[in-house]
Amino acid sequence: MSNKTNIACPCGINTQHSPLLYDTCCGPLHANALKAANPEQLMRSRYTAFVMKLYDYLIATHHPEYLHGLTANTLAQSPEIHWLTLEIISSSITDLQGQVEFQAWYKDETGIDAIHERSEFQCIEGDWLYTQGEQFDAIYPKRNQACLCGSGKKFKQCCL
């Protein structure tokens, strides 16, 4: 993980207006030095794994009964996209079940879009695992909000 030292963690957690560094945020989860404490932390680490193409981690944190043949190799063969940002809309836990609703923004050859999903999680023997999710239409920023691509421009002057 040394090549990822001192970079802002892609999951987007900030403390006092500064992003957490990968090595102190999702890095320890990816290195199996820590376990996710809750579904939101697992969701953030899974998003970061997509950004960093850590497909083995995605499979390891996916409940085996819900894989339906998905492998790290099939994930690696997915079309190339550029991940922009993760937006957590809501997060909840009830006993050993959890939900996280999020939008994961990306840019590909067709433009900017998002995966908007309410993900389901289960905690099994202390490990939070992704099970499945319900997809929704992306909720785009309003015209005068900042663009999600990180340009610093308003959405209407950039990717709209």
Show me where the domains of the chain are located.
22-157
Instruction: Give residue 125's region: left, alpha or beta (phi > 0; psi -120 to 50).
Output: left
Predicted local confidence at residue 1, as pLDDT: 43
Predicted local confidence at residue 4, as pLDDT: 59
Tokens of 77: 């063969």
Residue 114: burial class (beta carbons within 10 Å; 0-12, 13-18, 19+): buried
pLDDT tier at 2, thresholds 50, 70, 90? very low
pTM score, whole prediction: 0.90
Alpha-helical segments (H) within the chain: 27-30, 39-52, 55-60, 72-76
Fold of 22-157: Nuclear Transport Factor 2; Chain: A, (3.10.450)
Burial state string for 35-50 with b = 16 or more CB within 10 A and e = fewer than 16: ebebbbbbbbbbbbbb
Q: pLDDT per residue over 116-136, tens digit each? A: 999 999 999 999 999 999 999
Q: Which amino acid type is present at position 132? A: Q
Q: pLDDT per residue over 31-73, tens digit each? A: 999 999 999 999 999 999 999 999 999 999 999 999 999 999 9
